[in-house]
Chain A
Amino acid sequence: MTPLSTTTTPSSLPILCFSDKHYFPIAENVRLKLPTLNIKPKFVCNSGSRDFLVVSSCSTKVQTPSGATYKQGVSDKVKLLVSEFRSLTEPIDRVKRLLYYAAMLAPFDESARLPENRVKGCATQVWLDARIDKNGKVWFRADSDSEISKGFCSCLIWVMDGADPEEVIGVTAEELAELNVGVHGKVQSRVNTWQNVLISMRDRTAALVAERRVKLTHPLRRPPFSSLLVSSDGI
């Protein structure tokens, strides 16, 4: 996808957010293969779907930097995103910027296009795939049939991909109000896609955390796995 030419992006301000080099390299390395329903995966996270894998160092090719923190936390990224959109004073420039970011959204695994991954309340169709890795970081993938919605998803994922669940859950709609594009003011209407996606990301994160906590504190409730057993005595 070619970036917008200067004729279509009137704003001369640099596009800041997605120059974060941590976004793409790590995103490319996340190879989370969803098992089909017939295969009994070794590691299963039952957060609303049987098809998620809990990412662990044994079963996948994930290169999550163990123990590494991002250069920018979620709140830093929120501020960066907000300031970028705030600098675009013409609403149409925000639309164009969103379309630019839409083109950068990572491809969506077709097998994750499930009813339980639909984000409720959107005028467009949005699918959100969320998972938690062994370090407790959350990862997201999203897709939509609308380019503008994809742009929103792209921005939100940039902010929250690979973050701590607490940071994700702590993001409020008010902080991101500057992203209001096509929906004037602080309208709480059904068509406010990015708010619905944000709420969905927070809810799914909370659910993943709760599931993980159950797994970690009640290991005997799950069949013991030969290569990884988490118990109160350690791993």
Chain B
Amino acid sequence: MVEGVFVKLPSFPFLNPAVSPSSPNCRLGFRRFSASLSAVVKEGSVSLGHSTRPDFPILHQEVNGSKLVYLDNAATSQKPTAVLKALQNYYETYNSNVHRGIHYLSAKATDEYELARKKVAAFINASDSTEIVFTRNATEAINLVAYSWGLSNLRPGSEIILSIAEHHSAIVPWQTIAQKTGAILRFVSLDENEVPDVEELRGMISERTELVVVHHVSNVLGSVLPIEDIVIWAHAVGAKVLVDACQSVPHMVVDVQGLDADFLVASSHKMCGPTGVGFLFGKSNLLLDMPPFLGGGEMISDVFLDHSTYAEPPSRFEAGTPAIGEAIGLGAAIDYLSGIGMQKIHDYEMELANYLYEKLCSVPNIRIYGPKPSDNIHRAALCSFNVENIHPTDLATFLDQQHGVAIRSGHHCAQPLHRHLGVNASARASLHFYNTREDVDEFIRSLDDTVSFFNSFK
């Protein structure tokens, strides 16, 4: 594994002071430091993908005899050395249970854990870190809102508006809660651009609407929804908005105050952080009124045999020992991403998104789902597609076995969307800032070869 020094690009080209000059890391880091300096010098000629790749050891390997080309970032992202080191450092030097301990290690672990919470809050511009609840992942965060807020606020006839393009985690919990409370789920379909129909959504919002659940960026269509507008329409009728930001937080600037979202969820593992941790953002006044979701230690104030009283948020919603190291790892991931700058990441990925779409269009008999990029329509750097007469799983298998290209095939946890599109499954290539144009070129080359291969059997 490549040990590396985290070098912030491009305005803070200093070596990590934690690394001693005598360690071998320093020499490696210095090489990278000079590489990044030359990146500063030749700014614009070294892409973000090329300059960040050295930070991701996992990308430098061969699979099945070919160089790995990892294009499954919407499923999970890779982790930079800085995050790996943060995790290792936690377990090696100060692992301890948080919040109630008196001793030094416990105090340090608590400080770092709460610092990670502050980093998350700052990253999405929450007004206070008490608005961030650490969960296992975005799915658990949505379930938290469903069982805690949903059960106490939804009545028979209350309406929850969703789109047919939602991830299963944003649909299934609400189906359960709707059954329990008598609430009704209403689904917005796609418009002619293959994007959730925002006008239809606006029309559906009424006095009966209690909640709107929408994705920010679709993991299949690559489309981006106008969350600010949706929030304005929802708030006008007193409805709340839950934003699934799993595919947006890792790729662009997300400002919960700017969006005025009531709830927002994301997963660490999609934003260069470890698996096992995610978070829910909830406005303070909402969280204060919500009953606990899971019961146990940490979330209580006093426990008697016949009743208990509960802690204030966010602790109220963090039962049991949390994923301490992982939350700290998420904090390190946020540091890394902030060091690059989310706007810079977004701009680079936009370029890559357009390049991917354009090149994919050149594959014969291909059908790419979602909107065509234009001046007003921006796509995320992912494309779900099908090639006529070839099953996406066959494509993905051949791409992996013959070319070392990793894409995903299946329904991407969006069965209703696929049913609407009239297919059982699709293939999906999804990029992140450490991918390069060369990755896209290699993918297209391999895809062309794969398609010819399967067509030769017909």
Residues in A lying within 8 Å of B, measured CB to CB: 1, 8, 90-92, 95, 99, 103, 123-125, 144-149, 181-182, 191
B152 close to A (CB within 8 Å): no
Total A-B residue pairs with C-beta atoms closer than 8 Å?
50
Provided the pairs A123-B409, A123-B425, A182-B400 are in contact, do residues A148 and B394 lie with their beta carbons within 8 angstroms?
yes
Residue numbers in B under 8 Å from A145 (CB-CB)? 391, 424
A99 touches B457 (CB 8 A): yes
A-B contact pairs, 7 of them (CB 8 A): A99-B457, A123-B410, A145-B391, A146-B393, A147-B394, A148-B391, A182-B397
A182 touches B401 (CB 8 A): yes
Chain B's nearest CB lies how many Å from the CB of A23? Answer: 21
Query: Which of B391, B400, B424, B456 makes the CB contact (< 8 A) with A8?
Result: B456
A147 touches B424 (CB 8 A): no
B457 touches A95 (CB 8 A): no
B181 close to A (CB within 8 Å): no
B393 touches A124 (CB 8 A): yes
The 4 A-B residue pairs with the shortest CB-CB distance in the complex, in nearest-first order: A146-B391, A182-B397, A92-B401, A91-B401
Residue numbers in A under 8 Å from B410 (CB-CB)? 123, 191
Residue of A nearest to B402 (CB): A92
Task: Identify 14 new A-B residue pairs, CB closer than 8 A, beyond the known A124-B391, A148-B391.
Answer: A90-B65, A91-B401, A92-B64, A95-B398, A123-B393, A123-B410, A125-B424, A144-B391, A145-B424, A146-B393, A147-B457, A149-B393, A181-B397, A182-B397
Query: Which of B391, B401, B424 makes the CB contact (< 8 A) with A95?
Result: B401
Q: Report the bound CA distance from A28 to B393 in whole Å.
A: 30
Chain B's nearest CB lies how many Å from the CB of A89? Answer: 11
B454 close to A (CB within 8 Å): yes
A148 touches B457 (CB 8 A): no
Residue of B nearest to A96 (CB): B453
Query: Which of B393, B402, B425 makes the CB contact (< 8 A) with A148?
Result: B393
Residue of A nearest to B64 (CB): A91
Q: Report the bound CA distance from A90 to B391 in whole Å.
A: 22
Chain A's nearest CB lies how many Å from the CB of B363? Answer: 18
* Binary A-proximity of B369-391 (CB < 8 A = 1, otherwise 0): 00000000000000000000011
* Binary A-proximity of B418-436 (CB < 8 A = 1, otherwise 0): 0000001100000000000
B401 touches A124 (CB 8 A): no
Residue numbers in B under 8 Å from A125 (CB-CB)? 424
Q: Report the bound CA distance from A63 to B229 in whole Å.
A: 70
* Most chain A CB neighbours (cut-off 10 Å) among B390, B391, B410: B391
Residue numbers in B under 8 Å from A144 (CB-CB)? 391
Residue numbers in B under 8 Å from A191 (CB-CB)? 393, 410
Chain A's nearest CB lies how many Å from the CB of B57? Answer: 20
Q: Report the bound CA distance from A144 to B425 in whole Å.
A: 13
Chain A's nearest CB lies how many Å from the CB of B458? Answer: 9
Residue numbers in B under 8 Å from A182 (CB-CB)? 397, 400-401
Q: Report the bound CA distance from A124 to B409 in whole Å.
A: 9
Chain A's nearest CB lies how many Å from the CB of B390? Answer: 8
Residue numbers in A under 8 Å from B400 (CB-CB)? 182
